[in-house]
Amino acid sequence: MNIWLVQDHLRSGGTERQTLLLARAFQSSGHAVTVVLFRPGGLLASSLGDLPSRVLQPFDTTLNWFAPGLLRAASAAAPDVVLCMGRMANCHAGRLARALPRSVVLGTLRTGKPLPWLFRRSLRAVAHVVANSAESASLLERRHGLPASKISVIHNALVFPPAARHHRDDALRARHGAGPATCVLLCVGMLRPEKNQRALICVAASLDRAADWQLWLAGEGSARADCEALAAGLGLSDRVRFLGFQADPGPLYASADIAVLASQAESLSNFLIEAQAHGLPAVAFDAGGVCECLRDGVSGHVIRAGDDRAFTAALSRLLADSALRTAQGDAARDFARAAFEPARQARRYLELFSKLLVTKS
């Protein structure tokens, strides 16, 4: 198969990492792959490596939706399959489907954010839609009227699967001021308002100050300055560490003790999947497919969205009980490595592509 993966820009988000992971997996399976990008550059651009790619904007206009020459390039290449990743790419999926009557064009739903009008329109024009959580699939049926036969659920794959059981990196911990007994709470993700790192800082402010803990926030984004100011205002500058963008967050997972997530817009959380695969129990607000990312009460705790007191209580129990952290961490590792294994998820995409191509012919 000749497969196009369409993505507007290689920023540092989970969808962009999934795009690159799938492209490599399809290529390794013997298929011709092209990653089509609207904008050049981006924090993950260096991760393209030797993957064939095509950038549509001759220079970075900073416009995520602008895809000059997309239909012309697609018509000339005539790919068998076009997989649109991310909101902006999916806004063009309907146009691609109409321009490529012999190709299978698939949309995806990988976001908890509201969908632009062109995205919603494209959902009806594409051959099929892949949702990365059962919750997102249900949303496509309930809110957007898609038949179940047009939707497949394929969960995200582990982008950073640990090769073996990781040992804690005490040197990295020490660089950030965490001692051997410090319990490190970790959140990895872009610092945007919908990711709601503010709530994590507020929850941290209610934890026992006599206990030895830190909150690490890894990522960059428009909300960083606001979060830094909030932490300072709450007297947490010595407890909350802002670690910036991490090309490979694996060392952070190996150095932390508990994964925490307060996001308000999650279809499926790459962070929760990866953190659990590294043996971290998780505490997370319920949003979108979060409940599909962990086993509530076994590998962590799913808290009703906005219930800061319940979040603090669950977190305090884990902070105080190292045996509970170990038991839930072991369960998290087993669950995540089995449920989100990369080769299996890529194989499910390829099987779906083959099925749709046979149907189309």
Residue ranges per structural domain of the chain: 2-157+341-360, 170-339
CA 144/CA 228 separation, integer angstroms: 38
Tell me the one-letter amino acid at 342. Answer: P
* Tokens of residue 86, six digits: 């991310």
Q: Which fold has domain 170-339?
A: Rossmann fold (3.40.50)
CA 91/CA 75 separation, integer angstroms: 18
- CATH of segment(s) 2-157+341-360: 3.40.50.2000
Is it true that 2-157+341-360 and 170-339 share their CATH fold? yes
pLDDT per residue, tens digit, the chain (361 aa), is 999 999 999 998 889 999 999 999 999 999 999 999 999 999 999 999 999 999 999 999 999 999 999 999 999 999 999 999 999 999 999 999 999 999 999 999 988 888 999 999 999 999 999 999 999 999 999 999 999 999 999 999 988 877 655 567 788 999 999 999 999 999 999 999 999 999 999 999 999 999 999 999 999 999 999 999 999 999 999 999 999 999 889 899 999 999 999 998 888 898 999 999 999 999 999 988 899 999 999 999 999 999 999 999 999 999 999 999 999 999 999 999 989 999 999 999 999 999 999 998 7
Q: CA geometry: angle at 274 spanning 271 and 279, to 5°?
A: 120
Half-sphere exposure of 309 (CA within 13 A, CB side): 0
CA 338/CA 277 separation, integer angstroms: 9
**What's the whole-model pTM score?**
0.83
In eight-state DSSP terms, residue 273 is: H
